[in-house]
Amino acid sequence: MFLVAGLGNPGEEYADTPHNLGFLVVDRLAERHGIRVTRKDSKALVGVGEIDGHPVMLAKPQTFMNLSGTSLEPLMGKHSIPVDRLVVIYDELDLGWTALKIKPKGSAAGHNGMKSVIGSLKTSAIVRVRLGIHPGHPLASGTDYLLAPIGRSQRKELDGFIAYAADAVRSIIAEGVEKAMTTYNRRAPGSKTEEA
């Protein structure tokens, strides 16, 4: 079974923020594949179903972003899910808005949610889908931006971005991470440089 985990913060006040894009992608996958992500398990909301014939558990840790690993580690242990069947989806301030980067392994690159997952699982060989959220202009405070409602101009592109990310996750499960990287990794519009 695959475990697809979107990172975010629980609670209505965070529902509409850039920091919760991981949750939004899990919600989209659940909607597309008829999976109800409502059962409480290991400090997460989970649902089990199938994506392209593969058994999948969708999860939204309810621990707050910075403690995500304290939910995923016991969840994986309880359901005997190996780390090579884990896909973690999260927002990335180092990437421009609507950029998407699938990586099979690597450091947390300053992302506290991913840092917690790597620390709890004691490996950085974790497939991740990084969703670019940087608005393309200087920010007074990264934290304030992450936890503020998504801006009006970005909202126009949000639905398409979430759909694209859900397609990328489906591709990882159905076709493997290398094929998904080739098909779905993309820079932000207008970005000239290869992003980290």
Please state the rounded mean pLDDT for residues 45-71.
97
Which residue range forms the structural domain that includes residue 39?
2-184
Give how many domains the chain has, as a whole number.
1
Query: Is 126 a domain residue?
Result: yes
Rounded Cα distance, 52 and 69, in Å: 27
Q: Which two tokens stand for residue 58?
A: 């969708």
* Tens-place pLDDT, residues 135-178: 888 887 788 899 999 988 899 999 999 999 999 999 999 999 99
Listed residue (166, 76, 69) closest to 114, CA to CA: 69
Cα distance between residue 29 and residue 182, in whole Å = 21
Average pLDDT over residues 23-33: 98
Helices (H), the chain: 21-33, 69-78, 112-121, 142-146, 152-175, 177-184
Closest to 75 measured CA to CA, from 2, 136, 131:
2
The CATH number covering residue 150 comes to 3.40.50.1470
pLDDT of residue 189: 79
190 in a domain, yes or no?
Answer: no
Q: Which amino acid is at 19?
A: H
What the block records as the tokens of 7 is 């990172």
Instruction: Give the pLDDT confidence score for residue 192 in this predicted structure.
Output: 56
Asked, for residue 196, whether it belongs to a domain, the answer is: no
- The predicted pLDDT at position 193 comes to 52
Q: pLDDT (tens digit, 9 = 90+) per residue, 116-129?
A: 999 999 999 999 99
Sheet holding 44-51: strands in order across? Answer: 39-41, 44-51, 54-61, 2-6, 86-96, 127-134, 100-103
Instruction: Please indicate, yes or no, if residue 45 is contained in any of the structural domains.
Output: yes
19, 79, 111, 134: which one is catalytic? 19
192 vs 13, residue with greater confidence: 13
Instruction: Write out the DSSP string of 102-146.
Output: EESS---TT-HHHHHHHHHHT-S--EEEEEEEE-SS--S-HHHHH
Q: Does residue 70 belong to any structural domain of this protein?
A: yes
| Residue 193 counted as domain residue | no
79 is catalytic: no
Residue 156 lies in a domain: yes
| Residue at 41 is within a domain | yes
